[in-house]
Amino acid sequence: MGYELHVTRAAEYYESEEHPIALDEWLAYAERSPTLTQGGWIWWDEDRHPFYVFTCGDGSVVSLTWFEGAIEIKGHFDGDAYREFGGLAEDFQANLQGDDGERYTPSGVLPPIH
């Protein structure tokens, strides 16, 4: 799946700034996670933030970074999105949502709310 996923506390990922995952909360989590490795830096406006890499069950590597209150997951993988990233969303008491608004849950993929 070559697609962008969002870990967000908001009902819709584009509203993440209203119910944010704090940057320092994300960085502390990423630094102590045994499955994430810092992969370099990314610039958002004038700020430099680290991005992290994760190796999926199928061997593909995706990147994770914080942006405007959400954790953004980018890359190509062939596995089940919830199996790969559901635990991360649960750790933040957040939703795992795709670009089209669908939600990935333990019960399967749920359609967009609207």
Domain range list for the chain? 2-96
Give phi and psi for 29, each to the nearest 5: -65, -50
Kindly report whether the global pTM for this prediction surpasses the value 0.75.
yes
52 neighbors 36 (Cβ within 8 angstroms): yes
Residue-wise pLDDT for 13-29, tens only, equals 999 999 999 999 999 99
- pLDDT score recorded for residue 43: 87
Q: Is the pLDDT of residue 1 over 80?
A: no
Report the C-alpha gap between 96 and 13 in whole angstroms. Answer: 9
Q: Is the pLDDT of residue 114 over 80?
A: no
Position 44 confidence tier, pLDDT thresholds 50, 70, 90: confident
The DSSP H or E segment spanning 26 is helix 23-32
Report the C-alpha gap between 54 and 37 in whole angstroms. Answer: 7
Residue range 32-39: average pLDDT? 96
